[in-house]
């Protein structure tokens, strides 16, 4: 071909960058949000080539924030990613080129939005006498509360909060040790704003 090895590497990198830019367009061009696995594979491809997602691939900061949310959101919602997974969260955030504050804002937004929804559902179920459904939502709420030491910024009416807490406290904690159960109760008390409930 009559090109040097350095020119060949440069040409190869430009080709790979172009292919990855097109792949990024496909990620965002779909009507449904990309799966965490798809984002991880794309992110790792770019990182393995030493490409910066914003400067080399041309993904805007807002889109990088979206990718972070799409990759970690489902794991937080399912409980697969917890507060104990700080290293994993940092690795994903760093890999996308986001600052620590940007990552924290995304996590806070996910937790806040989902927590408000769970609280509303739990309250509705308690008021309709559907304790089992309420408890299922409250157990999810406790997962989110664990990220922020219980401080979810929720402010339910005191009587509603007490009804929800008592439904939770009276529920079946089969398979959990006493320490974990107590920790969950304290997190829920804090989340509901009723630390004095016994």
In sequence order, what are the residues at sequence separation of 6 or more whose Cβ sits closer than 8 angstroms to the Cβ of residue 104? none
Given this model, what pLDDT does residue 5 score?
72
pLDDT band at 197 (very low <50, low <70, confident <90, very high): very low
pLDDT at 56 over 90: no
Taking the C-alpha atoms of residue 52 and residue 58, their distance in angstroms, rounded to an integer, is 9
Mean pLDDT for 32-53 is 87
- Cβ neighbors of 81 (< 8 A, separation 6 or more) are 72, 75, 88, 89
CB neighbourhood size of 161 (10 A): 22
pLDDT in tens, 70-88: 999 888 877 788 778 888 9
Q: 84 vs 158, which has greater pLDDT?
A: 158
Q: How far apart are CA 101 and CA 154, in angstroms?
A: 22
Q: What is the mean pLDDT of the chain?
A: 86
pLDDT digits (tens, 9 = 90+) for 99-119: 999 998 998 888 999 999 999
pLDDT confidence of residue 1: 58
**pLDDT given for residue 128 in this prediction:** 92
Q: Are 150 and 191 in contact (CB under 8 A)?
A: yes
Q: Which DSSP string do the residues of 99-127 spell out, in sequence order?
A: -HHHHHHHHHHHHHHHHHHHHHHHHHHHH
């Amino acid at each position: 071909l009559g090109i040097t090895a350095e020119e060949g590497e440069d040409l190869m990198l430009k080709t790979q960058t172009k292919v990855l830019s097109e792949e990024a367009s496909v990620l965002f061009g779909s009507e449904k949000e990309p799966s965490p696995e798809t984002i991880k594979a794309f992110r790792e491809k770019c990182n393995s080539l030493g490409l910066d997602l914003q400067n080399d691939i041309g993904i805007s900061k807002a889109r990088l924030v979206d990718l972070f949310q799409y990759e970690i959101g489902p794991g937080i919602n399912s409980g697969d990613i917890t507060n104990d997974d700080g290293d994993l969260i940092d690795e994903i955030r760093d890999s996308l080129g986001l600052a620590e504050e940007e990552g924290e804002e995304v996590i806070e937004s996910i937790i806040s939005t989902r927590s408000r929804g769970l609280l509303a559902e739990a309250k509705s179920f308690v008021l309709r006498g559907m304790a089992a459904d309420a408890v299922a939502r409250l157990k999810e709420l406790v997962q989110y509360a664990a990220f922020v030491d219980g401080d979810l910024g929720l402010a339910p009416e005191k009587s509603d909060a007490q009804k929800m807490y008592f439904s939770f406290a009276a529920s079946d904690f089969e398979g959990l040790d006493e320490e974990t159960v107590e920790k969950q109760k304290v997190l829920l008390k804090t989340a509901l704003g009723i630390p004095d409930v016994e």
